[in-house]
Amino acid sequence: MSGSSPSVCADAGAHAEPAVIELAHGSGGRLTHALIDEIFRPAFGAAPEDLTHDGATLALEAGSERLAFTTDSYVVRPLFFPGGDIGSLSIHGTVNDLAMCGAEPRYLSVGLVIEEGLRIDVLRSVIASMRAAASASAVRIVTGDTKVVERGKGDGLYVNTTGVGVVRARSPIGPQQVQPGDAVILSGDVGRHGMAILALREGIRFETEIVSDCAPLAAQALGMIDADIEIHCLRDLTRGGLATNLIEIAEIAGATIALDEGAIPISDVVRGACEILGLDPLYVANEGRFAAIVPTEHASAALAHLRRFDSQAAIIGHVDRGAGHARVLLRTLGGTRELDMLNGEQFPRIC
């Protein structure tokens, strides 16, 4: 599996066995994109952006308000981690996807797939966490569904949440709107969610515990709209981290995004943990961080707004015309390198 555009089943011929789903198909990297491009998009006839953006926006009737609609399944392992659990993650994650559409989150559905044998007190605890998270974002959980599968056919609990919001942005927000000259603003330090999960799962202890950044982002994002800050694109930096998400945006926008490595906030403990484990923090999943891409004349207002929520918010780069090259470049002390979308799986079941 090499090159920048692997096929979803490139290995089939070599093995003379049916191609199968690999863990990397769920990583958010190249294989996830291959699935979307080769199987989902041709079948569902979706526009290029519909299935790669955080959600869809819909008009139900001519002249009515536009809706945002987004879904995510959560399979994080273990169910509880420093800074959150599958309950809070599943609410914040879907609220954040709505916010990234410039929409005010309103209603959520919850679908549970429970493995036989899950302790009822564990379920109660997850549900209490969902309640608190929904309340923090003023969204209502209005419908739900529960299925139970036999022991060994699940892993405790899988959660799907799907959200409906009302679009508040006055102009479209999405990778297509990104323009040369735009500033790229990061809302806080990156890498904490993925490293919190990984440290817990691998039993690695650091002097300072790594706590997930799992949090709702609607107030940060919608506050920019309220403050009349023009926004071209918003993206929460979940699976695949900062790098993968910006590469997706660059590819859809057909632009080069140039980042300044020194401007990207990463905590010492995350940086240290990544070094020990041989991981690049720019590819590690976040659950409470986003990138805002805004016209340069709105950059300082946007930064000031985001710093009210997190003092580490920073302008980390800008969009270049890039002679038609869709890519993300990272300027480091030693020079400039291009960030690639990962082909394989950095680590599974982070969200």
- Say how many residues touch its own copies, by CB under 8 A: 83
Q: Could you tell me which residues come within 8 angstroms of residue 43 by beta carbon, excluding any fewer than 6 positions away? A: none
Nearest one of 242, 194, 185, 186 to 214, comparing CA atoms: 194
Token pair of 156, please? 């405790």
Under the binding rule (CB under 8 A), the answer on residue 113 touching its own copies is yes
Does residue number 158 form part of the binding site for its own copies (CB under 8 A)? yes
Stretch that binds its own copies, among 117-125, 168-176, 274-282, 294-302 (CB under 8 A): 117-125
| Least gap, CB of 106 to its own copies (angstroms) | 7
Instruction: Say whether residue 145 binds its own copies (CB under 8 A).
Output: yes
Residue from the set 37, 48, 50, 172 that interacts with its own copies by CB under 8 A: 50
**Under the criterion CB under 8 A, does residue 227 sit at the interface with its own copies?**
no
Report the nearest approach of its own copies to the CB of residue 299 (Å).
Answer: 30
Answer yes or no whether residue 90 interacts with its own copies by CB under 8 A: no
Contact 190, 343 (CB under 8 A): no
Q: Does residue number 150 form part of the binding site for its own copies (CB under 8 A)?
A: yes
Among 2, 14, 15, 43, binds its own copies (CB under 8 A): 43
Residue 59 beta carbon to its own copies: minimum distance, rounded to whole angstroms: 10
Half-sphere exposure of 33 (CA within 13 A, CB side): 23
Of 24, 32, 94, 11, residue with least CA distance to 247? 32
Q: 153 or 337, CB closer to its own copies? A: 153
Within positions 160 to 179, which residues make up the interface with its own copies, using CB under 8 A?
160, 162, 164, 166
What tokens appear for 192 in the block? 């904490």
Among 13, 15, 62, 119, binds its own copies (CB under 8 A): 119
Q: Which of 4, 5, 78, 117 is in the footprint of its own copies by CB under 8 A?
A: 117
Query: In terms of Cα–Cα distance, which of 116, 51, 114, 54 is closest to 86?
Result: 114
Are 27 and 346 spatial neighbours (Cβ–Cβ below 8 Å)?
yes
Tokens encoding 218: 């609607």
Our finding on whether 120 is near its own copies (CB under 8 A) is: yes
Instruction: Write out the binding residues for its own copies, residues 6-25 only, by CB under 8 A.
Output: 8-9, 12, 18-25
CA distances from 72 to 5, 25, 304 (A): 25, 15, 31
How many angstroms separate the first and last alpha carbons of the chain? 25
Tell me how far apart the alpha carbons of residues 278 and 276 are, in angstroms, rounded to a whole number: 6
Closer residue to its own copies in complex, CB, 133/258 = 133
Structural contact between residues 313 and 303, judged by C-beta atoms closer than 8 angstroms = yes
116 binds its own copies (CB under 8 A): yes
DSSP result, 218-262: HHHHHHHHHTT---SEEEE--TTHHHHHHHHHHHHHT-EEEEEGG
245 by Cβ neighbours in 10 Å (0-12 / 13-18 / 19+) ranks as buried
* Selected binder of its own copies within 51, 211, 277, 301 (CB under 8 A): 51
Among 6, 29, 30, 55, contact with its own copies (rule: CB under 8 A): 55
What torsion do the CA atoms of 293, 298, 299, 301 make, to the nearest 10 degrees? -120
Q: Which is nearer to its own copies, 57 or 267 (CB)?
A: 57
Site string for its own copies, 59-88 (x = CB under 8 A): -xx--xx-x-xxxxxxx-------------
Which region among 133-141, 250-258, 260-268, 334-342 touches its own copies (by CB under 8 A)?
A: 133-141
Binding pattern for the stretch 300-319 against its own copies, x by CB under 8 A and - elsewhere: --------------------
- Judged by CB under 8 A, does residue 207 bind its own copies? no
Q: How far is the CB of 76 from its own copies (least distance, A)?
A: 9
Q: 330 to 349, contacts with its own copies by CB under 8 A?
A: 348-349
